[in-house]
Amino acid sequence: MVGLAGLRRRGALALGLATVLAGCTSTAKSTDSKEVRTDTEPLERRFVTLGPLSDAHWLGVVLGTGSRVPGPTDVRVVGFAQLRAGAVASIVGASQLGFQPAMPSRLPAELMRFMPENARWVRSGSFDGQVTGETYSGAFYFDLGADWVYFDTINPSAVAGSGE
């Protein structure tokens, strides 16, 4: 038979366990409703090599929000932007970085309608490394016909001195 003191002890333990478990739930905001952003300043601070951008459509998606263990949050920054006229030809033509035809993959559904029609995408792993400085993962695809870039990065950092 369990006495009153035993019940109180079990109740206190249960309450303590519930408090600990509640503290381990994720506090990151939900990514269920992803809002497409159109501002270019955050992109230009991170992707300085691309120069001025316009007509951007992108997402900042918090990854790993289903985890019950608190920790660092990874953010996927993915989307499209228009480069200044002639920028793609300059980047691809002037470099010896081995650009090859490639199709962007893992395009979020929210961005499908912004995919340029009839795009001829090229990509270079060496160029990706130049933009990221090898400090974060990222892929940059260029449309040879219309000066578009598709970027797909994880935790892109702003370049020192760019305001962040």
**Of 159 and 13, more confident:** 159
Q: Other C-beta atoms within 10 Å of 138: how many?
A: 20
Name the range with the highest mean pLDDT among 20-24, 128-132, 140-144: 140-144
Handedness of CA 102, 108, 113, 114 (dihedral sign): negative
Tell me: pLDDT of 6 over 90.
no
Q: Which of 56-65, 102-111, 154-163 has the lowest mean pLDDT?
A: 154-163
Instruction: Note the pLDDT tens digit of each residue in 46-65.
Output: 999 999 999 999 999 988 76
Overall pTM > 0.85: no
When pLDDT is cut at 50, 70 and 90, the band that residue 25 belongs to is: very low
Is residue 108 within 8 A of residue 131, CB to CB? The reply is no
Separation CA 62–CA 88 (nearest Å): 29
Share of the chain above pLDDT 90, in %: 60
Over residues 75-102, mean pLDDT: 92
